[in-house]
Amino acid sequence: MASLIDIRRRLRSVKSTQQITKAMKMVAAAKLRRAQDRVIGARPYAKLLGNVLASVTAHAGEVKQPLLNVREEKRVVVVVVAGDRGLCGAFNTNVHRATTHLLATHPGWTEVRILPVGKKAVDFWKRRKYPFTEKTYSGIFDKLSYENAREIAASLSEEFVAERIDAVYVVVNEFRSVLSQVVHTARILPLSFEPVAAAPKPDVSGPEYIFEPDAKTILARLLPRYLEFTIYRALAESAAAEMGARMTAMGAATKNAGEMIDKLTLTYNRARQARITKELIEIVSGAAALE
């Protein structure tokens, strides 16, 4: 049996760990509220933007837009959206596992590059054989802004229009609730008006619009905006899902630490009682021997 000193040292260590996990849970809960509000606010806008684009496309007729060109997929960029930190359960692992599955199920892709978003994605795929894009995005979730999505969308659309790549896929954790984060894989280029996260599909039979100057010009202006917002929504979904996963993981860790503290306290009390009993027996035995 471990000595009393060892048990006390273990108790102090577990209590210190419990304080850390409890604090991390509270911080994640505070950040989750803001991230969740951002995601909930983005979903109606995404639905409305999809409806408008569906209507504009229907009125524009056959129009050649570079971002809509479907080609045979040979050169592909995969945007992997993970977190900047760990201690969030299987959040990062699930994204990497889904990305690996995506690459394994498309042997026809002759040239694949990874665009990692988040420090964990950068570190993980740096150890793999797949090459990166020119720029990676690490540490952007602390101050996530629309400019991040705009920069990513600009670089991807430039390569797609120049026909240096044939398609772009994104692998991201979709926020469902604090306890539920689902990995979602979608093709974002060429554009098909399908949002990254689950949402109602655009309603083509919606209200009629009057276009000024004309549907083709409006479509050319809206398509880059749609791509930017699709990427921004993916980043926002991932940020909220990460906070939810971390809150759940740290809550479970705090609970487990409490159970371990109870067991160690019981073990300590038993060991202390046994030591006191032994000392009393020695004292009584010594007193009896002197009689």
Catalytically annotated residue among 56, 88, 171, 178: 88
SS (H, E, C) the chain: CCCHHHHHHHHHHHHHHHHHHHHHHHHHHHHHHHHHHHHHHHHHHHHHHHHHHHHHHHHHCCCCCHHHCCCCCCEEEEEEECCCCCCCCCHHHHHHHHHHHHHHCCCCCCEEEEEEECHHHHHHHHCCCCCECCCCECCCCCCCCHHHHHHHHHHHHHHHHCCCCCEEEEEEEEECCCCCEEEEEEEEECCCCCCCCCCCCCCCCCCCCCCCCCHHHHHHHHHHHHHHHHHHHHHHHHHHHHHHHHHHHHHHHHHHHHHHHHHHHHHHHHHHHHHHHHHHHHHHHHHHHHC
Question: 46 vs 244, which has greater pLDDT?
Answer: 244
pLDDT score for 260: 92
Residues 6+ apart with CB under 8 A from 166: 71, 72, 73, 74, 75, 76, 160
CA–CA separation, 273 vs 129, rounded Å?
A: 59
pLDDT score for 5: 85
Give 231's pLDDT tier (boundaries 50, 70, 90).
Answer: very high
pLDDT score for 139: 85
The per-residue pLDDT of the chain, averaged, comes to 84
Bond prior to 207 in cis (omega within 30° of 0): no
Q: For residue range 267-280, what is the model confidence (pLDDT) as tens digits?
A: 888 888 888 887 78
From-to residues of CATH 3.40.1380.10 in the chain = 33-247
Q: Which range among 50-64, 164-178, 275-289 has the greatest average pLDDT?
A: 164-178
CATH number of 4-26+248-286: 1.10.287.80
Asked whether residue 194 carries a pLDDT value surpassing 50, the answer given is no
Q: For residue range 17-33, what is the model confidence (pLDDT) as tens digits?
A: 999 999 998 988 888 88
Q: What are phi and psi of 287, to 5 degrees?
A: -65, -40
CA–CA separation, 28 vs 40, rounded Å?
A: 18
Q: For residue range 150-163, what is the model confidence (pLDDT) as tens digits?
A: 999 999 999 998 88
Whether 46 is catalytic: no
Q: For residue range 77-126, what is the model confidence (pLDDT) as tens digits?
A: 999 999 988 888 889 999 999 999 999 998 889 999 999 999 999 999 98
Asked whether residue 198 carries a pLDDT value surpassing 50, the answer given is no
pTM, two decimals, is 0.81
CA–CA separation, 97 vs 124, rounded Å?
A: 11
Q: Which residue has the tokens 């990692």?
A: 116
Asked whether residue 257 carries a pLDDT value surpassing 50, the answer given is yes
For residues 209-215, give the mean pLDDT. Answer: 71
From-to residues of CATH 1.10.287.80 in the chain = 4-26+248-286
Question: 46 vs 102, which has greater pLDDT?
Answer: 102
First to last CA, the chain: 35
For residue 40 the two structure tokens come to 């909930």
Buried b (16+ CB within 10 A) or exposed e, 197-217: beeeebeeeeeeeeeeeebee
Q: Which fold has domain 33-247?
A: Pyruvate Kinase; Chain: A, domain 1 (3.40.1380)
For residues 198-202, give the mean pLDDT. Answer: 44
